[in-house]
Amino acid sequence: MEIIPDVDVFVGNNIHVDFEIYHYWLRNIGADEVTDLLVSSGASNISHIEINNDDFEKSLLYSHVLDQYRLFSMVEPMVQVPTVLCTQLTYQISHKIQESLVSNYYELDDQVVREILGKKLSKGTRRDLDEVAAKTHKRLRFCHRQFDNCKRIFKTLEDWPGSLLDNIQTKFLLPQELAW
């Protein structure tokens, strides 16, 4: 008699993005710290988890934060090149969520950008971002992302003819206010 194993399989293709957690991920705040912040504030987009100091519920929330962080890390290379994000077939992401991912990723921090712009966007300047991080009280990885975004935009569009604003909106799919 052959024994057939009992196997349950779940396959999902629509992704859920928790933008509250994405906000923390973009600022390079660790999953442990985010979980503690969400527990202490009592606010989260996870409607089926009632957040209190119960260890089980906190571990569920921590697991959710880690899942979101893994998702953001996998999607990040595509978000860096928004035209790739729009044409990729790996993840089913609605157009509205794609726009929000890109807008939030390319959002500029006034303090950090004020320190970055006006300097040559080179490897040497990137190495000096620890000074910018200390001066602006932002995390170093956050400053690196701001620097890399500015450099990516300038590098991509430096030889494009036409309106810079229109080119930024076309190539990086940013809303007009952010492109400006």
Reported as a single tens digit per residue, the pLDDT across 112-141 is 988 888 777 777 778 888 888 999 999 999
pLDDT tens-digit series, residues 166-176: 888 888 888 88
Q: Which pLDDT value is given to residue 66? A: 94
**Host domain of residue 141:** 108-180
Residue 139 in any domain: the answer is: yes
In Å, what is the CA distance from 40 to each residue of 50, 53, 68?
12, 8, 19
Query: Domain for residue 7, yes or no?
Result: no
- 18 inside domain: no
At residue 51, the pLDDT reads 56
* Three-class DSSP category at 92: strand
Q: What is the mean pLDDT of residues 2-15?
A: 68
Question: Which parts of the chain are beta strand (E)?
Answer: none
- 92 forms beta bridges with 14
What gap in Å lies between CA 12 and CA 92, rounded to an integer?
A: 10
**Averaged pLDDT for residues 135-158:** 89
Percent of the chain with pLDDT over 70: 89
> Is 82 within a domain?
no
pLDDT value for 99 = 93
Encoded tokens for 157 = 């569009």
Is pTM beyond 0.85? Reply is: no
Phi, psi of 122 (to 5 degrees): -125, 175
Q: Following CA atoms 122, 100, 159, 180 in sequence, which dihedral angle do they give, to the nearest 10 degrees?
A: -90
Where is pLDDT greater, at 6 or 96? 96
Exposure of 162 in the CB half-sphere (CA atoms within 13 A): 9
Place of tokens 């912040």: 37
Query: What is d(CA 54, CA 157) in angstroms, rounded to the nearest whole number?
Result: 51
Number of domains, the chain: 1
Residue 110: CA count within 13 A, CB half-sphere = 0
Looking at the domain assignment, is residue 142 inside a domain? yes
Asked if the structure places residue 13 within a domain, the reply is no
Q: Which residue has the higher pLDDT, 55 or 104?
A: 104
